[in-house]
Amino acid sequence: MAVAARKIGDPHLDAAREPVALRLQWYEGAPAGWEERLRRVPRSNLLQSFAYGRAMRLTRQLMPRFGLICEGEQEIGLCLVQEASLLGAHAVVIDRGPLWYQPGNPDRDEAFAALVARLYPRRLMRFRRFMPEFPADPTYHDLMTRQGFRLARKDQIGQRSLWIDLTRDDVALRAGLRSNWRQHLAQAERSTLTIEVDRTGALLPFMLNRYAADKTARGYPGPHPSLLRTIALPCFASGSGLVLRALHQGHAVASVLILGHGRSATYQAGWSGEAGRKLSAHHLLLWRAFGTLRAQGYRDFDLGGINPEQAEGVTIFKKGMGGEAYELLPIYR
């Protein structure tokens, strides 16, 4: 399918460029084949994983369709599309796609937006939710509007988070920590905290129970524990789930849940009791997670989102790890 694409920011070059021809080929193979393709994506995300698609089918009745993006006969990327139909109504959801094997081509980005607009044109009783994996840049907003997409809300903000580069060694990672964060880590390392590492899911019920209680008591936003469980179970089954738990004098004081996708992993949820906060247990948990993930072959670690307006303390904590910040476009209809 030929889709015209413009070179962002230079209409004179646009007219001289050949249209980018993209098509979606639906993947019907095993989860392992999709996961292998995710490994070809630099800095993938959990929302494009097979586990996430399965969870949305079970909890939201959205049917996942796993699309391979092809340019001619060459496979160049992937995108999870979720659909649902009822009594003539049709919903189509794309969250944080597309993902490219070689990102950084604005022509392809616009060609994909045009392809989505052509496959799922605006019509009566069609609900479109498109949260593209595009940077929060005015030129990319213009790209989306050129292809007929409108912001779902004018005041919304897209995903914001930080990436930790796990290809660096411990010396470089520690040097990248902000001084206050490094001091808390040193305090935790001097303490009598011990860290348990679980790759089987044995600690998942404990983690989710403590997370649910903490979320209710403190009233912070976050995914429902049942949804987290539905996403996490296939991750542990495939070897891409991880729980780390901190113990002090035999008692659990903090824990974190991390889920892998391709060569990347995401900090999905955490919990810390009063004793854990006093001992800076979360600093030690995440520091140990860096090394554990690197040993498993992960190259990048997404810290799971920041929200300076509504969660300033968490944002400061995550920024203290010295990651590379990013912000994406919000939701379009």
pLDDT at residue 20 in the model: 75
Number of domains observed in the structure of the chain? 2
- Which sign, positive or negative, has the C-alpha torsion 218, 51, 329, 315? positive
Going by C-alpha positions, the residue among 317, 321, 293, 297 that lies closest to residue 172 is 321
- Does the pLDDT value for residue 63 go beyond 80? yes
Per-residue model confidence as pLDDT tens digits over 124-160: 999 999 999 999 999 999 999 999 999 999 999 999 9
pLDDT at residue 15 in the model: 40
- Does the pLDDT value for residue 53 go beyond 60? yes
Per-position b or e across 102-128, b if 16+ CB within 10 A of its CB:
eeebbbbbbbbbbbbbeebeeeeeeeb
Same domain, 15 and 117: yes
> How far is residue 45's CA from residue 233's CA, in Å, rounded to a whole number?
17
pLDDT at residue 222 in the model: 82
Question: Cα angle at 12 between 7 and 15, to 5 degrees?
Answer: 70
Same domain, 41 and 109: yes
- Does the pLDDT value for residue 311 go beyond 70? yes
3-state secondary structure 143-158: HHHHCCCCECCCCCCC
Position 156 in a domain: no
The domain of 25 spans: 2-150
The domain boundary, picked from 150, 179, 198, lies at: 150
pLDDT band at 11 (very low <50, low <70, confident <90, very high): very low
Question: Beta 160-165 vs 300-302: how paired, if at all?
Answer: antiparallel
Environment class of residue 254 by beta-carbon count within 10 Å: exposed (0-12), middle (13-18) or buried (19+)? buried
- Does the pLDDT value for residue 80 go beyond 90? yes
Per-residue model confidence as pLDDT tens digits over 89-132: 999 999 999 999 999 999 999 999 999 999 999 999 999 999 99
- Does the pLDDT value for residue 229 go beyond 80? yes
Question: Are the CB atoms for 273 and 279 separated by under 8 Å?
Answer: no
Same domain, 313 and 210: yes
Cis omega (within 30 of 0) for bond into 98: yes
What's this model's pTM, rounded to 2 decimal places? 0.92
> Which SS3 state, helix, strand or coil, does residue 66 take?
strand
Same domain, 197 and 314: yes
- Does the pLDDT value for residue 254 go beyond 50? yes
Residue 19 carries which DSSP code? P
Same domain, 109 and 234: no
Position 332 in a domain: no
pLDDT at residue 7 in the model: 40
pLDDT band at 220 (very low <50, low <70, confident <90, very high): confident
Same domain, 133 and 207: no
Position 77 in a domain: yes
- Does the pLDDT value for residue 6 go beyond 70? no
Same domain, 186 and 118: no
Mean pLDDT value of segment 320-330? 98
Token couple for 210: 């403590």
> How far is residue 221's CA from residue 237's CA, in Å, rounded to a whole number?
27
Going by C-alpha positions, the residue among 283, 216, 296, 291 that lies closest to residue 254 is 283
Question: Are the CB atoms for 84 and 63 separated by under 8 Å?
Answer: yes
